[in-house]
Structures are given as C-alpha cells and as structure tokens.
Amino acid sequence: MPSALNCHVPHFSAAMTGGVDFSLSAYLGKKIVLYFYPKDNTPGCTTESIAFRDIHTELLAKNTVIFGISRDSLRSHEGFKAKLSLPFELITDPDEQLCLLFNVMKMKNMYGKQVRGIERSTFVIDEAGKLVKEWRGVKVPDHAQAVLDFVSQSK
C-alpha cells in the first residue's frame, strides 16, 4: 500500500479498456493520475469522468496520463468510455486488488443501509513511480481542475 506520500507505489498491472493491460512500469517517466470512482453510468461518476475528459489534452501537455478505476467489468467500462467519448482508458478492478492497495474501500450509507463501496479518490504518481498527491472523499465539482493545477505546478 502506498500509505505515505513520496513512497514508491508497488508495481501492479490490471485489465483495462482498449485491449491492453495497464502496467505501472509502462508509464514511468510520466505523471500518472489514477481516479477511483464507485460505478459506471451513475451521475457523480459521469460528471467526474466528463470533467477529466475535458482537461485530457491539458494533462497530456503536462506529461501526465490519466486512468479511471472502478470495480465494474471491462464490458461496462467499454460502454461507459464510448458513451462519454473518453480519450483515456478505464481500469477494471473486480477483485478489489487496486482498491485495497490504495485503501479506497469504505463503508458508506446508501438509502439508509450500510454498504461497502469505493470512496471517490484520486492519486498522482510522479515520473519515478512515487505517490506525490492524494485526494480522498472527493467532491466532484472543481476536482478535475484541482488535479490539473497540481500536475501543472509539480516538476
């Protein structure tokens, strides 16, 4: 678990849209933004993904790649990505390995019931593979801009 800032994130790989697997080591030399979200095709997750879509070109200009992660299936991700015209890939984590690695699974209240789910969270990994920023319990409005501001300021 990358439990502290400036710690190296352990190598991991996972299935993602686009027909290839994500591998952390494949992106060394670039900043990596990983945003964890609860579920495809829900209002907050749709709004958040659109916000990241809209700043994607600016992120690329800052040597930054972005990936969304949820427990949804690859099939669900492919549909969500196509529906929103997302220019970046979505990583599937059905067995919660990445969710556990980044400690984003929380008990949440849904319609008066306790359910276990993903706490909306975003992480920035630097070019050397170190965790340099995290946002937990993310509120969607203005979050994508805060991420862009952070990667713009970091070296």
> And the tokens for 46?
């749709």
Q: Catalytic: 45?
A: yes
Q: How does DSSP classify residue 84? A: H
- Give CA–CA dist 75/54, Å, rounded: 23
Q: Of these residues, 45, 90, 118, 151, which one is catalytic?
A: 45
Count of other CB atoms within 10 angstroms of residue 61: 12
Angstrom distances, CA of residue 133 to CA of 9, 91, 129, 149 = 12, 20, 12, 12
- Give CA–CA dist 24/72, Å, rounded: 20
- Give CA–CA dist 141/144, Å, rounded: 8
> And the tokens for 29?
């030399």
**Catalytically annotated residues:** 45
